[in-house]
């Protein structure tokens, strides 16, 4: 236990790892806020000590979940521009980056929601998978524009984030049909769009999202239902531009099978990948706050956004 890590950082890391805080955007927001708390409460006496403390806090947050790139992108945003010759100056710079980051996160979600809403027509039915605030922003903007929508919501085993989506949509007055994941293909005949979020998007346009997305996309393509991915640019994975792959998180087997059930089933290996990769050819559009892109052209946007980012991570020891 690092005594310089503020409890707010330790708590945020715990909440992210346990999925108390979940969803790529919410994870980024919580991580940035925790860095802000670390900076505000720091008792470091020298700029060097302050920087070391911030790096340690960022490392703690970084090691929680490996797949959603919004987390390292948030940490980079806050730490890359840390500047100042005094502790007070450094603290002020972190705090202002955190405020700016959180504001931009909200704004990006609003802007992409408006763009995504333009793809939805009055009377359309969307099929959702998991719970994505970026995807739901598109629905909310369409409703604000006066369109009527219905939803077919996939339950999303093993953690059933579909329930969160269903609850939110009902609060907005959207008629919801909840189905188990295995029923998706049958209900695609009633859907006008598949609408999902993303945890990471690779430079070739592959979409890393909740396990089950790729099978849904293949089925949707076969049925002729367009697949729309709502993902603010915070979900673009810079390291994939230089050949790195996105690590897929493997979660605890108890999310799939309780110890009692496991006992009953017998000696089997249980695997619980949290995400899968949907190849770009199954995706019709990636909707970001900078406009909608065919997946194959997302690399152009990535070059524009990350082209000049070089060198090590700002939380690594220099
Ligand atoms: P927003 C979630 O992962 C889902 O895969 C969802 O599509 C994605 O994060 C993006 O969520 P998990 O944290 O950023 O439930 O759009 O494993 O809210």
Instruction: Tell me, yes or no, whether 107 and 136 share the same domain.
Output: no
Instruction: Tell me, yes or no, whether 162 and 298 share the same domain.
Output: yes
Q: Beta-carbon neighbour count of residue 3 at 10 Å?
A: 4
SS3 state of residue 113: helix
Instruction: Tell me, yes or no, whether 13 and 119 share the same domain.
Output: no
> What residues contact 60, with CB distance under 8 A and at least 6 apart?
2, 5, 9, 10, 13
Among candidate residues 94, 111, 128, the one where a domain is terminated: 111
Question: Per the domain annotation, does 316 fall within a domain?
Answer: no
Instruction: Tell me, yes or no, whether 185 and 80 share the same domain.
Output: no
**Residue 31 Cα distances to 95, 157, 283, angstroms:** 13, 26, 29
Which regions of the chain are under pLDDT 50? none
Instruction: Tell me, yes or no, whether 167 and 206 share the same domain.
Output: yes
**Residue 252 Cα distances to 45, 150, 272, 293, angstroms:** 41, 34, 7, 35
Instruction: Tell me, yes or no, whether 144 and 72 share the same domain.
Output: no
Residue among 197, 229, 247, 276 whose CB has most ligand 1 atoms within 8 A, to mutate: 197
Question: Per the domain annotation, does 18 fall within a domain?
Answer: yes
Q: Which residues line ligand 1 (CB under 6 A)?
A: 22-26, 130, 132-135, 161, 196-197, 199, 209-210, 274
Q: What is the number of domains present in the chain?
A: 2
Instruction: Tell me, yes or no, whether 96 and 181 share the same domain.
Output: no
Instruction: Tell me, yes or no, whether 126 and 85 share the same domain.
Output: no
Residue among 21, 24, 139, 228 whose CB has most ligand 1 atoms within 8 A, to mutate: 24
Which structural domain, as residue segments, surrounds residue 180? 113-306
Question: CA-CA distance, 227 to 229, in Å (whole number)?
Answer: 7
| CA of 15 relative to ligand 1 center, distance in Å | 15
Enter the tokens of residue 281. 């050819």
pLDDT of residue 3: 65
Nearest CA to ligand 1 atom 6: 132
Instruction: Tell me, yes or no, whether 117 and 224 share the same domain.
Output: yes
Atom of ligand 1 lying closest to residue 135 CA: 16
269-300: burial string, b at 16+ Cβ within 10 Å, e else? eeebebbbebebebbbbbbbbeebbebeebbe
Question: Per the domain annotation, does 239 fall within a domain?
Answer: yes
Atom of ligand 1 lying closest to residue 235 CA: 14
pLDDT of residue 311: 72
Atom of ligand 1 lying closest to residue 133 CA: 18
> What residues contact 305, with CB distance under 8 A and at least 6 apart?
233, 236, 238
Question: CA-CA distance, 247 to 73, in Å (whole number)?
Answer: 15
Question: Per the domain annotation, does 313 fall within a domain?
Answer: no
CATH number of the domain residue 16 falls in: 1.20.120.420
CATH number of the domain residue 175 falls in: 3.40.50.10470
Nearest CA to ligand 1 atom 1: 132
pLDDT of residue 192: 98
Question: CA-CA distance, 273 to 41, in Å (whole number)?
Answer: 37
pLDDT of residue 273: 98
| CA of 36 relative to ligand 1 center, distance in Å | 23
Question: Per the domain annotation, does 287 fall within a domain?
Answer: yes
Atom of ligand 1 lying closest to residue 161 CA: 15
Treating both helix axes as pointing N-terminal to C-terminal, what angle do 133-144 and 24-41 enclose, rounded to 10 degrees? 110
The three-point CA angle 234-235-240 to 5° equals 115
CB of 244 closer than 8 Å to CB of 181:
no
Residue among 155, 199, 201, 208 whose CB has most ligand 1 atoms within 8 A, to mutate: 199
Instruction: Tell me, yes or no, whether 172 and 141 share the same domain.
Output: yes
Among candidate residues 89, 111, 133, the one where a domain is terminated: 111
Question: CA-CA distance, 218 to 282, in Å (whole number)?
Answer: 6
Question: Per the domain annotation, does 142 fall within a domain?
Answer: yes
pLDDT of residue 152: 99
| H or E element in which residue 178 lies | strand 176-179
Question: Per the domain annotation, does 311 fall within a domain?
Answer: no
Nearest CA to ligand 1 atom 15: 23
| CA of 129 relative to ligand 1 center, distance in Å | 10
| CA of 134 relative to ligand 1 center, distance in Å | 9
Nearest CA to ligand 1 atom 12: 23
pLDDT of residue 226: 98
Active site (catalytic) residues: 130, 199
The three-point CA angle 148-153-158 to 5° equals 160
Burial of 200 (0-12, 13-18, 19+ CB in 10 A): buried
Instruction: Tell me, yes or no, whether 79 and 130 share the same domain.
Output: no
Question: CA-CA distance, 49 to 58, in Å (whole number)?
Answer: 14
Phi, psi of 120, rounded to the nearest 5 degrees? -95, 135
pLDDT of residue 308: 63
Instruction: Tell me, yes or no, whether 34 and 140 share the same domain.
Output: no
Task: Write out pLDDT tens, residues 153-201.
Answer: 999 999 999 999 999 999 999 999 999 999 999 999 999 999 999 999 9
Which is nearest to 228 in space by CA: 113, 314, 64?
113
Atom of ligand 1 lying closest to residue 19 CA: 13
Question: Per the domain annotation, does 312 fall within a domain?
Answer: no
Longest dimension (CA), the chain: 64
Burial of 183 (0-12, 13-18, 19+ CB in 10 A): middle
SS3 state of residue 4: coil
| CA of 263 relative to ligand 1 center, distance in Å | 31
CA atoms within 13 A on the CB side of 316: 5
Among candidate residues 88, 111, 134, the one where a domain is terminated: 111
pTM (2 d.p.): 0.96
């Amino acid at each position: 236990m690092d005594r310089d890590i503020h409890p707010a950082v330790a708590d945020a890391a715990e909440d992210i790892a346990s999925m108390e805080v979940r969803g790529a955007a919410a994870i980024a927001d919580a991580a940035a806020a925790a860095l802000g708390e670390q900076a505000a409460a720091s008792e470091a006496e020298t700029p060097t000590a302050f920087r070391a403390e911030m790096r340690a806090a960022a490392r703690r947050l970084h090691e929680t979940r490996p797949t959603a790139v919004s987390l390292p992108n948030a940490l980079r945003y806050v730490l890359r521009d840390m500047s100042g010759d005094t502790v007070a100056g450094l603290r002020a710079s972190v705090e202002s980056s955190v405020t700016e980051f959180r504001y931009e996160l909200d704004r990006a979600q609003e802007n992409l929601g408006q763009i995504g809403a333009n793809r939805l027509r009055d009377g359309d039915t969307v099929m959702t998978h998991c719970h994505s605030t970026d995807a739901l922003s598109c629905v909310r903007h369409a409703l604000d524009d006066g369109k009527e929508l219905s939803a077919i919501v996939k339950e999303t085993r093993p953690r059933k984030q579909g329930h969160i989506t269903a609850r939110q949509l009902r609060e907005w007055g959207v008629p919801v049909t909840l189905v188990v994941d295995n029923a998706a293909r049958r209900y695609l005949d009633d859907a006008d769009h598949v609408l999902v979020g993303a945890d990471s998007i690779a430079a070739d346009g592959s979409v890393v999202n909740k396990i089950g997305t790729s099978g849904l996309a293949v089925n949707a393509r076969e049925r002729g239902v367009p697949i729309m991915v709502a993902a603010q640019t915070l979900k673009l994975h810079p390291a994939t531009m230089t050949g790195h792959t996105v690590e897929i998180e493997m979660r605890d087997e108890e999310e799939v099978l309780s110890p009692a059930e496991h006992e009953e089933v017998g000696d089997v290996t249980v695997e619980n990948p949290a995400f899968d990769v949907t190849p770009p050819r199954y995706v019709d559009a990636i909707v970001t706050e900078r406009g909608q892109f065919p997946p194959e052209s997302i690399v152009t946007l990535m070059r524009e956004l990350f082209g000049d980012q070089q060198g090590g991570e700002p939380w690594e020891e220099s």
